[in-house]
């Protein structure tokens, strides 16, 4: 068994225009996903929107500089993630396809294992 992280990327503007209806629908879908994949789910969280993000990088003089916003401005922003356990990538993909991501999609990344 191996762990994978399923990263959820979605267009935040679509969420804004979707309003309460979209939000409620997504909640329902995430609960359903959680119930149906209980055995494989090892963790996960929804993240608050990128407007709440703070980034820290080293500037040209080597000092850490704190700025407003996500690390990279992309059309689809990171909105949440699940940690799942699966025997191989095909099994991980089968689970990841069930993750609700109406306004975008997901990335499946294997977790690094250290000896």
Partner 1 sequence: MAEAHRREWGFVLAATVRITRDIDVAEECVQDAYAKALRAWGSTGVPTKPSAWLTTVAKRRALDLGRRQATFKRSLPLLVDEQEAPALDSAALGEAADDRLRLVFTCCHPALSPDAQVALTLRLLCGLTTAEVARAFLVTETTMAARITRAKKKIAAARIPFRVPAPDEMPARIDAVLTVVLLLFTTGHRAPAGENLVRADLVERALDLARMLRALLPADADVAGLLGLILLTDARRATRTAPDGRLLLLEEQDRALWDSDAIVEGVALVDEAHRRRPPGRFALQAAIAAVHAQAPSWEETDWEEIVGLYDHLVTVWPSPVVALNRAVAVGLARGAPAGLAALAALAAEPQLADYSYLPAARAEFLRRIGRLSEARASYDEALRLTDNAVERKFLAERIGQLEAAPGTSAGERAT
The contact set with partner 1 (CB under 8 A) reads 2, 87-90, 92-93, 108, 110, 113, 115
> Residue 5 or 8: which CB sits closer to partner 1?
5
CB of 86 to partner 1, least distance (A): 8
The whole-angstrom separation of Cα 78 and Cα 85 is 21
CB of 83 to partner 1, least distance (A): 15
> Residue 5 or 78: which CB sits closer to partner 1?
5
CB of 91 to partner 1, least distance (A): 8
29, two tokens: 């879908």
**Alpha carbon 91 to chain centroid, angstroms:** 18
> Residue 12 or 85: which CB sits closer to partner 1?
85
DSSP 8-state assignment for residue 34: H
Beta strands of the chain (E only): which ranges?
2-11, 41-46, 54-58, 64-68, 76-86, 104-110
């Amino acid at each position: 068994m191996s762990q994978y992280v399923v990263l959820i990327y979605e267009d935040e503007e679509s969420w804004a225009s979707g309003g309460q209806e979209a939000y409620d629908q997504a909640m329902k879908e995430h609960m359903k996903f959680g119930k149906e994949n209980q055995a494989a789910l090892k963790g996960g969280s929804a993240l608050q929107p990128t407007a709440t993000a703070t980034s820290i990088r080293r500037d040209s003089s080597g000092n850490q500089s704190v700025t407003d916003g996500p690390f990279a401005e992309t059309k689809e922003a990171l909105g949440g993630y699940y940690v799942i356990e699966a025997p191989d990538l095909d099994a991980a993909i089968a689970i990841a396809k069930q993750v609700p991501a109406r306004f975008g999609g997901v990335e499946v990344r294997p977790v690094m294992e250290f000896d």
